[in-house]
Amino acid sequence: MHAIQTSGNYIRNITADQFAGVAPDEVIDPRPWAEILRQWSTFHPEFAWLPRKFKIAVNGSVEDRVAVQIHDLGVYLWKNAPGEVVADILAGGGLGRMPIIDAIIKRDLPWQHLITYCEAVLRVYNRYGRRDNMYKARIKILVNGRRSRRRSSRSRSRKSGST
């Protein structure tokens, strides 16, 4: 146990299945992947002052005992048809006063790109996340706002295209 990055606006904790390594429905053991992400994120200078706390979950089982969809960043590890390890990346989940389920932002990400993709998500959050309002500083607000703007721009383009 340690108290590194346990409070403040950091990458807080990276969670995995409590039955990892022994779960009968496990496709991939998530513990090494969670540890790699932990080592990468601990003391990362770019993410020392995020807009708000940030939590990551990694799942490698058929059943989602980690609750990946309610974390800021979620990773589902699985094997594709050729047997390669790939990941589905989710972003924007959370509980609190406004519970939201993550949106899948990338499917079939090769395992070699997991850290760089997570870093890209965190950079976008660090750059565009709101710092002016503590209650709107979570990534779920950023993802939901971008999704809403995209929907409204699509509807505007359909309206202008039909006239």
In a domain, 158, yes or no: yes
pLDDT of residue 36: 96
Q: Which domain holds residue 140?
A: 11-162
> For residues 123 and 120, what is the distance between their CA atoms, to the nearest angstrom?
5
In a domain, 92, yes or no: yes
pLDDT of residue 19: 96
**Number of compact structural domains in the chain:** 1
Task: Classify burial at 95, counting beta carbons within 10 Å of its beta carbon; exposed 0-12, middle 13-18, buried 19 or more.
Answer: exposed
State the SS3 of 60-72: CECCCCCCHHHCC
In a domain, 34, yes or no: yes
In a domain, 5, yes or no: no
In a domain, 44, yes or no: yes
- The one-letter code for the residue type at 124 is V
Query: Would you write out the chain's pLDDT as a tens digit for each of its 163 residues?
Result: 567 777 788 898 899 999 999 999 999 999 999 999 999 998 888 888 899 999 999 999 999 999 999 999 999 999 999 999 999 999 999 888 889 898 899 999 999 999 999 999 999 999 999 989 888 888 998 988 766 666 566 666 666 665 4
Bridge partner list, 73 = 56, 91
The 3-state DSSP composition of the chain as helix, strand, coil percent (nearest 5) reads 40, 25, 40
In a domain, 140, yes or no: yes
In a domain, 77, yes or no: yes
- SS3 at position 84: coil
> For residues 84 and 110, what is the distance between their CA atoms, to the nearest angstrom?
8
In a domain, 2, yes or no: no
pLDDT of residue 48: 85
pLDDT of residue 1: 59
* Among candidate residues 139, 130, 64, 132, the one with its CA nearest the CA of residue 100: 139
Give the CATH number for residue 49. 3.30.413.10
Residues whose CB falls within 8 Å of the CB of residue 49, separated by 6 or more in sequence, listed in order: 9
- Contact at 8 Å (CB) between 61 and 25? yes
What is the Rg, in whole angstroms, of the alpha carbon atoms belonging to the chain? 17
pLDDT of residue 13: 83
